[in-house]
Amino acid sequence: MAASPRSDKPFLSDIKTIRKRARAHMERGAVTDSYTLDRATVLKLLNEALATEIVCVLRYKAHYYLAAGINAKSVAAEFLEHAAEEQAHADTIAERITQLDGTPNFSPEGLSGRSHSEFVVPDDLASMIEENLVAERIAIDSYREIINYVGDRDTTTKRLLEGILAVEEEHAEDMKTLMENFGQKGEPAKPGRSGRKK
């Protein structure tokens, strides 16, 4: 059987060209000339995602410390676990921003305006669960849109955000389950609606 003819075209650019490009603009770090996305837009989107994660950390922490009621201990533990995971997301996003030669925006000034989710702290535990579910659903849609924008032109950012998206989907499912099961231990699932169908 005859061997298939080899293509004369190399898989990669000429190695001398790659070496030359690597030495140009070294101050950009990981950002090379082959990065074809609008970096300013990507950095803006990532800083909005960073702000969203920070607001989520603050909201979950506030809910953790203010949780009260029959089911408060187990629900508060879930809030605290989610706060830690949202903080890890914020750290990962901030690191990616610096890899793209940007500056992570941790400034509290304008934080709520940059964030896609809101900082809402209701008085009762059931409403806290509901607000966290709403926030997770906002984060899920936001991450999907950013992933679609980035596509395969920045596979590192895409993979990073896909990993975060998977955790946000788990968080939403956790909050949905808490909301559905909240009234089963004697506390109404919604204040004033104890007769609500389960």
Q: From the annotation, which residues make up the binding site?
A: 53, 89, 136, 168, 171
Q: Which residue has the tokens 């950012």?
A: 157
DSSP states along 78-114: HHHHHHHHHHHHHHHHHHHHHHTT------STTHHHH
> What is the residue-wise DSSP string for 126-181?
HHHHHHHHHHHHHHHHHHHHHHHHHGGGSHHHHHHHHHHHHHHHHHHHHHHHHHHH
Q: Are 147 and 130 in contact (CB under 8 A)?
A: no
Binding residues for Fe cation, as ranges, are 53, 89, 136, 168, 171
C-alpha separations of 9 from 4, 13, 122 in Å? 15, 9, 63
Burial class (CB in 10 A: 0-12, 13-18, 19+), 195: exposed
Is residue 111 classed as helix, strand or coil in its secondary structure?
helix
